[in-house]
Amino acid sequence: MQKLIAFNHVSLDGYFVDANNSMMWAKDNTDDPEWDAFMAENAKGDATLVFGRVTYQMMASYWPTRMAAQQAPIVAGRMNKLAKVVFSRTLDKASWDNTTLMKGELVAEVRKLKQKPGEGLAILGSGSIVSQLAESRLIDEFQVVVNPVVLGKGRTLFEGVKDQLKLKLMKTKTFGNGKVYLDYAPAWSQA
């Protein structure tokens, strides 16, 4: 069974997106060679990327561009090469290279994806996908980067989750730019 990892940024006050539904604040304070190396290393995996429509469209508008290739060549190369799945009821097509559009029921389709052979699945962004799959106990690892910014308003990563999710801290790393990486395993994946 493939492992499903969720990798996301949050603000110090716990928001995943700001009041304008933007995640651009997570790009601030990134002038840190250790952080850049961490992100490049993190991009080396061969997991299939899993997105909701909003995050997919944001990523697809940036990573295939010349600007992305100049600003983050290693990450851009990997993002464009990796297999991608986007869950959407409203998209008619997904034109970013190596993308499959899925219109079926999220939880059932992710269960099927996890059963297929592969190098794993990774959700980047896509807060509504994270909250639905967390509530269904399908995420095997939560990787969260706490950013040194207070947004005041926004939406939490786990908005809509009704039941308490118990997590165990597996790893931490602090960076000079003020970002803190936290790696959690959910109780259901440790049973």
Please state whether the predicted TM-score (pTM) of the whole model is above 0.85.
yes
- The model's pLDDT over 12-57, given as tens digits with 9 standing for 90+, comes to 999 999 999 888 898 876 678 998 888 878 877 889 999 999 999 9
- DSSP letter for each residue of 31-69: --HHHHHHHHHHTT--PEEEEEHHHHHHHHHHTTSHHHH
Provide the residue ranges of all domains of the chain, joining segments of one domain with +. 31-126+136-146
Residue 86 DSSP SS3: strand
Residues 92, 57 contacting (CB under 8 angstroms): no
Q: Is the dihedral of CA 133, 135, 139, 143 positive or negative?
A: positive
Relative to beta strand 180-186, strand 141-147 is antiparallel
Residue 21 DSSP SS3: coil
What pLDDT does residue 39 have? 83
6 vs 4: CA distance, rounded Å: 7
Mean pLDDT of 117-124: 94
Arithmetic mean of pLDDT over the chain = 92
